[in-house]
Amino acid sequence: MKKTIVIVSIALWGVVALAAIGLIIASALGHNLSIGGENWMLNFGGGNVDMLREERISLDGTRQISVNVSYQDIQVRITDGGEAVIRHFDYDTAPPCNIGNSGGTVSVNTPNRVIINLFSFNFSNSPRLEIELPRAYAESVSFITTSGSVKTEGDANWGNTTLQSTSGSVRAEGALTCGDLTAKSTSGSVHLNQNVSGATVRVTSTSGSVRIHESLTGTTVHISSTSGSVHVDGAVQCDELTLKSTSGSVHTAGCTVTGGARLNTTSGSIHTAAVRAKEITAESMSGGLDMGILDAEGLIHLKSTSGSVKAEAVRSPEHYIRSASGGIDIRELTGKGDVRSNSGRVKTNY
């Protein structure tokens, strides 16, 4: 009996091994086999990614472009043309995307499916939507993917703009001039690599870094990361500014704010070259403050629970500067207020 079980087991494992070898060979040759249902698909191979649909759409009379896909990347290329071009590349077993055009809205979507790839050699030719969009499209655009990345290439001048991924990165390789701008990733980084200008600008990542490499202009600006650093490398001009990280550092080159400027991190340091605002608040629970030159019409509030507080200049009518566990070092301090360290040296105006 035991001998029979052993023989059957060897035979079964032999079949499994042959099937695996066959699937690996099929994947390497660009063939795809899949099983699945409405909401999921298991790919053995994942080799074939072909263009399933191409559509050219006139934008006359449209007020909104809305793209919402499942596992596909979204790649947006800016053109000088007057129409939108949509190309869907996907596994040969996947259905083509749905494209609607009614009531002034162009909508593009794919079924919400979970994809699992086994024995895949398909590293560069991923499922995606390639979208060509005019540079000066003054209406609203929304590009959302569940488990892919979002990337724009080229300078754009659009209306209200949303770039969003649940499980992937968001990148803009050209300048963005928008109405309201939302750039968001739940589990990935958000990098805007050229100048950004909008009314309300909200850039957030739950689990990844946020970085803006050039200048940032807006009315209300909110940049935050729950688990990653926040970097704004260029100049910031806005009416209200919030830079926040729960677990990571906050860096900014220089800010001019007509209202309040708020810089906050729970676990990380805060670095800035210069901030000019009506009021300035910078707080770190576990990290130091290195603040450069600060100018405010009202209160400047600097606080570190576990770290030092440093600044080249703190110029304001009123200030509150506190370090619970670290020194305070301010080269130039004006106005009246409270400067105190519970465990460290205080040095000002030297």
Run of H or E residues at 57: strand 49-58
CA angle 99, 100, 104 (to 5 degrees): 135
CA 154 to chain centre: 17
Which residue(s) pair with 8 in the sheet? none
Contact 287, 304 (CB under 8 A): yes
Q: How far is 53 from 86, CA to CA, in rounded Å?
A: 8
**pLDDT at position 18, please?**
47
**pLDDT at position 17, please?**
54
Give the chain's residues under pLDDT 70: 1-47, 113-124
Q: Spell out the long-range contacts of 18-26 with Cβ–Cβ below 8 A and sequence spacing 24 or more.
A: 20/119, 23/118, 23/119, 24/119
For 26-77, the pLDDT digits (tens) are 555 555 555 555 555 565 555 578 999 999 999 999 999 999 999 999 999 9
Give the domain ranges of the chain: 1-137
**pLDDT at position 112, please?**
72
CA angle 138, 222, 297 (to 5 degrees): 110
Which pair of tokens denotes residue 257?
């704010």
Q: How far is 20 from 177, CA to CA, in rounded Å?
A: 51
For 333-344, the pLDDT digits (tens) are 999 999 999 999
**pLDDT at position 49, please?**
86
Residue (of 51, 53, 89, 45) closest to 71 by Cα position: 89
Q: Both ends of the chain: CA-CA distance in Å?
A: 92
Alpha-carbon dihedral sign for residues 252, 246, 262, 283: negative
Q: How far is 209 from 189, CA to CA, in rounded Å?
A: 5
Query: Can you give the pTM of this predicted structure?
Result: 0.86
Which pair of tokens denotes residue 235?
């100049």
Alpha-carbon dihedral sign for residues 200, 185, 63, 212: positive
